[in-house]
Amino acid sequence: MLKAKGLTKTFGDVTALDQLDLDVAAGEIVCLLGANGAGKTTTINLFLGFLEPSAGAAFVDGAEVAKKPVETKKRLAYIPEQVALYPQLSGAENLDYFLRLSGVKKSAAELTDMLTSAGLPADAAHRRASSYSKGMRQKVGVAIALAKDARALLLDEPLSGLDPSAANDLCAGLRRLKDDGRAILMATHDVFRAKEIGSRIGIMKDGRLIDMLDASALDAGEIERLYLDHMRGAGDGPSVVRLQGDGDSDNEGAAA
């Protein structure tokens, strides 16, 4: 559903993303870990078409983003660290507005159902968004993804600043989307949540994907240790614990 082939982005003499090879299948959550400047947000912006690649290509459901930017955006939903809503509008009114921009129209009852399905309390759906916590705004973002029927979701640090209860709610919503066959690519600093919801966990450093881990084969402590080893430069080869058969996949070329 999401694919990067040799995806590269440079800004002058700075290489923000270096020959990324990555696949995210339907029904899978891939979490990208890395320090600030590792290339996570650049990757997401290239899939969204906010940046043009310097080399390589990003694909959404087989369509190349740079060649079909409007078509690929219709198949995507994006949830940033801070979901921006119109504060004077209710959650339902915000959802209605953003869906109409996408050419989708829903009834008032359908809008409320979508918000509650995303975890927003029913009594909050018609309150002004200015009263919402960050977690509630994130749930409106999930509702937009549900309503658009986007088959792929891109999330950039969506857990940052959430309290444990709100983070649990968001992760539960993402698992439901995964089980529904959506492809999810999430940039995060949270090793433990990545382990909790991720199918695979990629480690990025200096614009390169240097490792791809099978989340089910490692506990959170082991993932954290591998991550820290890579950040210190002690483990800049691929880890021992990888997906079975990964040596034949496109991701193998991304690990160095």
- pLDDT > 90 in the chain, percent: 69
Last residue of a domain, one of 120, 150, 180: 150
Residue 55 and residue 162 in one domain: yes
Element (H, E) at 191: helix 191-197
Residues 103 and 202 in one domain: no
Domain residue limits at 194: 2-75+151-254
Total domains, the chain: 2
pLDDT at 249 over 60: no
Answer yes or no: do 217 and 184 share one domain.
yes
Mean pLDDT score, 61-84: 92
Are the CB atoms for 249 and 23 separated by under 8 Å?
yes
Q: What is the pLDDT confidence band of residue 241, given thresholds at 50, 70 and 90?
A: very low
| pLDDT number for residue 239 | 46
Do 93 and 124 have their domain in common? yes
CA 103-158-151 angle, 5° bins: 40
Mean pLDDT of 123-128: 94
Give pLDDT, residue 243.
47
The residue among 150, 173, 196 that closes a domain is: 150
| pLDDT 10s digits, 197-224 | 999 999 999 999 999 999 999 999 999 9
Assess whether 118 and 219 both reside in one domain: no
pTM flag (> 0.75): yes
Residues 187 and 224 placed together within one structural domain of the fold: yes
Contact 173, 142 (CB under 8 A): yes
Tens of pLDDT along 143-168? 988 888 889 999 999 888 888 888 88
pLDDT of residue 236: 55
* Nearest residue to 78 (alpha-carbon basis) of 49, 110, 39: 49
Task: Out of 94, 119, 150, pick the residue that ends a domain.
Answer: 150
Confidence of residue 111 (pLDDT cuts 50, 70, 90): very high
- Is the sign of the CA dihedral 117, 77, 167, 223 positive or negative? positive
Are 25 and 107 found together in one domain?
no
Residues 94 and 192 in one domain: no
How does pLDDT run across 13-65, given as a tens digit for each residue? 999 999 999 999 999 999 999 999 999 999 999 999 999 999 999 999 999 99
Of 234 and 169, more confident:
169
Same-domain status, 123 and 158: no
pLDDT in the model for residue 87? 96
Residues 6+ apart with CB under 8 A from 2: 22, 23, 24, 47, 58, 59, 60, 152, 183, 185
Higher-scoring residue by pLDDT: 93, 246: 93
pLDDT recorded at residue 149: 82
The answer on 172 and 231 residing in a single domain is yes
Same domain, 43 and 70: yes
Looking at the fold, whether 62 and 166 belong to one and the same domain comes out as: yes
Looking at residue 26, its pLDDT comes to 96
Per-residue model confidence (pLDDT) at position 234: 60
What mean pLDDT value characterizes the chain?
88
Residue 156 sits in a domain whose CATH number is 3.40.50.300
